[in-house]
A and B are shown apart, each in its own frame.
Chain A
Amino acid sequence: MKFDLMSTGVGGEGVLTIGVIIARAANLEGYYVRGLQLHGLAQRGGTIPTFVRFGDEKEISSPGIMQANADLILAFEPLEAVRATFYARKEKTTFVINNHPYIPIYANLNNIPYPSLDKILKKIKPFAKDIHVFDTNNLAKKEFGDVIFGNTILLGIAVGKGLIPLKEESLRESIKITVPKGVESNLKAFDFGLNIGKSHTRVE
C-alpha cells in the first residue's frame, strides 16, 4: 500500500502544520512515512507545496511525489489548486479545495485578474477524478470566530469523506501532539469538518 498526499497553499497559512498532522497520524498507525517540506524563501507569501507519503516501507523510498501521481490534493487556496495539477491526473487524483482566495499582488501589478471559481474548476477538471469545494475559512469564521481553523476543517472534511485512508482517532491523537496549544478548538474544528464530510452533498 502506498498513499501519496499533497497539500498546498500560500506561505503563512499553516499548510505545513496540516502536513505534519497527517504524517504523524500515519506514523501512529504504523505506516512508514516519507515526505517533503519546503522552507526558506518560498515561505514568504509564495506557493508552498508539502508532500506526505505513507504505506509499506518497501514501496516508498523517494521523499517527493512524482508528477501526475498524487492520490489526494488538499488545496487551501483555489489558485494553488490549479498549480497543483502538475501532480494530478484524471484516473487517480481527488481534489479538496478551500475556496478562499489569497489574491497575489501580481494580479494587480501584472494586470492579470484573479480567475473565477468556475474558471478554476474548468482548468482542474481534466486532471481530476473528483473535486470537492468548500469555503472553510468562512465556515471557520462563522463557527469559531477565526479563519485560522479553516485548515483543520478542510482536513476533517477530507477524512469524513473517506479520502484519507487513516482513522479519525489517529488524526485526533496527532492533532493533540502537533498543536498542543489550540488543541480543543482544533479538535472541535476537525469534528465539525468531519461531520460536513460525512453528510454534506457536494458544493461544486
Chain B
Amino acid sequence: MGIEILEKPGKKVVLLGNEAIARGSIEAGVGVVACYPGTPSSEVPLALSGVAKEVGFYFEYSANEKVAVETATGAAWSGVRSLTAMKHYGLNVASDSVLPIAYLGVKGGLVLMVADDPQGWSSVQSEQDSRYFAKMGKIPMIEPTNPQECLDYTKLAFDMSEEFELPIFLRTTTKTSHSIGTVKLGKIKPPKIKGFFKKDPARFNSIQRPNLQIFHEKLIKKLENIEKKYSSKLNVVFKGKGDIGIITSGVSFGYVKEVLQMFHADLPIAKLGLTFPLSERFVSDFIRGKKKVIVVEELEPILEDFVRQTAKDVNSDLIIHGKDVFPTVGEYNLETIIPGFEKILSKRIGIDFKKHKKNVDNALKDLPPRKPVFCPGCPHRSTFYAVKKVFGENTVYSGDIGCYALGIFEPFKMQDFVVSMGASLGIGHGISEVSDQDVVAFIGDSTFFHAGMAGLVNLKFNNGKSPLVVVLDNNITAMTGHQPNPGTGITGMGKKVDPVKIEDVAKSLGAEVRVANSFNQKQLIDALNELKKMKGPRVLVSRGECRLLTKRLMYKRGVKLPVFEIVNQKNFEGNANDVLNNFSCPGVIKEKENGKTIYKIDQNMCWGCSVCMQISPEGSIKPKRDENEV
C-alpha cells in the first residue's frame, strides 16, 4: 500500500501498521535506517527503502540485525536520528550489541522496532515474548495498538530517545504490524543526515572500573524519570462503570473494546502504552478500590505479574484474572478471549463457537489441504529434486530459514529440522561428527551472509567430518518480499555495487566449491555426484534467480515468460508419476476426461523454468509457440 506514505499532512489514508511506523520515522526526520528484513516487521524497511532517495535519508539493508543495530547506533552517536526494525528472532541476533548500548546511551534518537510473532505466521522458531528483553536490558519499551498509534508512537519514541539519551524499543505483535487502519498523517520534518562523532571517553569507556556500575546506576535513574514523565502520556484510562477493571496493551486493547461492546459491558479499561518501565503509580491508581481486574495480554503474563505484585501493597483483596482464563499459547483474536470474559462476567453472548467450529471442520473434512508450496518455476524445487536423486531419502537434511524451509513439506521432506538463521551448518556438523550418516545442509544466499559464514569456517578450522553444504542462491531475500542482499549487486538505496560471490567466500573459507545452474538438472546432478565422493567442507552453489522476481521483472518490461506444454501423452506417461509425485510443480496437473487420465500443463501456472521438460521422456514436453508473442 506503500505509495500513500508520502501523502500530505492532514490527509487520512489507509496504512499497514508497519507502513505507519515508516511514516512516523519520516515525520520524525529519521536520517539513517538500517535493517535486515524479518516478517512480521519487513514492511517497515520495504516502505522506507522505496522512498529513501526522495525524502533524502540514508537506507541500508544490513547483512544481519546485529550489524543493522550497530550501524544505526553509530549514526545515532554522531547525532543523527536512526531506526532499525527487526522480528523477534532478529532481536536475539542483535541483542549482543543492544544491551551494552543501553548503558552507553545515545545522542541522536535511536528507535529499535521489534515485531513479535505469536502463532508463528512468519516464524518457525518460537513464540518468544520480546518484552523480556526490555526488562533484561533496562531499555524503555512502548507499544502501539493500531496503525494510528504506530505512527504517533514512532515519533514519540524518537523524542523520548533524545530526551533521555536512551535507545527505545517500539514493540508490536503480528496483528499490529499487519493490520491496516485509517491514519491521519502529520508534518514531515526534513531529515538530518549529517553528523559528527565527538570523542567522549567519560561516556563511552565502560572498560575502566567503576564506570560500568556508574553507567548502570545512571540507567536506573533514567528509567525512573521516564516513568515519571511518560506514564501519563502513554498509559491511558478509558472510564467505565463498576468495580471490575481491565488492564491491557497492544493489539489486545482493540479486541477488549469490541468484546465489551458485545457484552454491553461498560467497564473501565487501563491501556498501557509504556510496557517498560511499568508504572506502579498508574497501576496502583487504577486497581485501588476495584474488586476484580482482568489482564488481557498476548503471550507471557508480564503485565499480570506486575499487577499481582503491585496489588499486594495497594489492594490485597483484589481478584486478578489473566492467564487463568486466557491462553499463553498462540495469538489472540475476538473468539479466543470471549470464553474468558464469559466465565468472569458470567454472561453469554450467544455464539456457540465450538459448534460452529465443528460444523466448519465437518465441511472441510474431505477437502485437499493447501499448504504453502514452492512457486511454479521455483529454483529450489529443482535443486531439492536433484539432491534427492543423488542423496535419497535416508540422508540427514539439515534445514535453515528462508523460502526453502517449505522443503519440510511433501513430497520433498528435506528439512529434517529448522532452528535459526545459519544453524544448518553447525547442527549438520555436530551430526556428521558423531554419526556415519550422510548430511546435507541447505542454506539460502541471504541466510549464508547473515549467519552461515561462521559455520562454514568452523568446518575448515576443525578439519573434521563435514556435511555437504548446498547454498540455494536465488539472488535475493525472497521470503520477506525481495530485498537485496550482499550477493544481489544492488543496495537498499538502489545503487549498483559489486555483488559478493558466494563461491569466492566459500573458497576463501576453505571449502571445495562447485557452482551449478538451478534450472539445469544435469549440471546439478553432475556437481552433486562429484561432491558426494569428497570429504571435508564442500559447497554446492545452486544458482537460479527467484522465479517470482523474474516473472515480475519481465512483466514490467512487457515480456511474457515462455510456457511449456505436453505434446505427447503417451511419452509423458513414462515418467508421469515421478514428475507429479516427486517434482510436484503446481503447473503440471492430472485430469480425468471421459474416464481417461490426461496430463496437462496449466498455462497460467507455468512460469517457464523448463525443468519438467528435462526430467520427462524426450519429446513429451515442448515450449509452446504463441503467435501473439513478440
Contact = CB atoms under 8 A, between A and B. Distances in A.
Interface of A: 10-12, 20, 23-24, 26-27, 32-47, 52, 57, 59-64, 66-68, 79-80, 82-83, 85-86, 89, 102-110, 112-115, 123-124, 126-127, 137, 147, 177, 180
Interface in B171-195: 175, 178-182
Interface in B601-618: 604-605
A123 B351 CA distance: 21
B257 A66 contact: no
Contacts of A20: 1, 14
B369 A110 contact: yes
Given A37-B180, A66-B335, A82-B364, A109 B584 contact: yes
A143 to B, nearest CB: 16
B257 A61 contact: yes
B13 A27 contact: yes
Nearest to A20: B1
B531 to A, nearest CB: 28
Contact of A44 (B257, B367, B375): B375
A44 B179 contact: no
Interface in B569-593: 580-581, 584-586, 589-590
B370 A112 contact: no
B623 to A, nearest CB: 20
A109 B589 contact: no
B126 interface: no
Contacts of B122: 39-42
A176 B334 CA distance: 34
Contact of B255 (A32, A38, A62, A106): A62
B373 A44 contact: yes
Interface stretch (B38-46, B340-348, B506-514): B38-46
7 contacts: A11-B372, A37-B178, A39-B39, A45-B370, A86-B357, A112-B368, A115-B367
Contacts of A44: 372-375, 403, 406, 479
Contacts of A64: 175, 179, 333-334
Name the 9 nearest CB pairs between A and B, nearest first.
A40-B122, A63-B179, A46-B372, A40-B39, A107-B368, A45-B373, A61-B254, A61-B257, A66-B334
Nearest to B145: A61
Q: Give the interface size bracket for B toward A.
A: 35 or more
A35 B334 contact: no
A108 B367 CA distance: 12
A8 to B, nearest CB: 11
Contacts of A114: 368
B397 interface: no
B13 A34 contact: no
B121 A42 contact: yes
Contacts of A12: 375, 548
Interface string B390-429: 0000000000000101100011000000000000000000
Given A39-B39, A63-B251, A45 B359 contact: no
Interface string B17-44: 0000000000000000000000110110
Contact of A41 (B1, B479, B589): B479
A41 B373 CA distance: 9
Given A62-B257, A104-B586, 12 more contacts: A27-B12, A34-B179, A44-B406, A61-B255, A79-B367, A79-B370, A82-B367, A85-B363, A105-B586, A106-B371, A126-B359, A177-B4
Nearest to B39: A40
B179 A106 contact: no
Contact of A104 (B146, B251, B368, B581): B368
A68 B351 CA distance: 9
B86 to A, nearest CB: 14
B179 A24 contact: no
B593 to A, nearest CB: 14
B200 interface: no
- Name, among B3, B371, B589, the residue most crowded by chain A CB atoms within 10 Å (CB to CB): B371
A141 to B, nearest CB: 9
B383 to A, nearest CB: 16
B558 to A, nearest CB: 11
Given A10-B370, A46-B371, A33 B335 contact: no
Interface string B319-339: 000000000000001110000
Contacts of B181: 33-35, 63
A106 B368 contact: yes
Contacts of A112: 366-369
A83 B362 CA distance: 11
Contact of A27 (B14, B42, B605): B14
B261 interface: yes
Given A38-B121, A44-B403, A85 B360 contact: yes
A105 B589 CA distance: 8
Nearest to B120: A41
Nearest to B411: A109
Interface string B479-491: 1110000000000
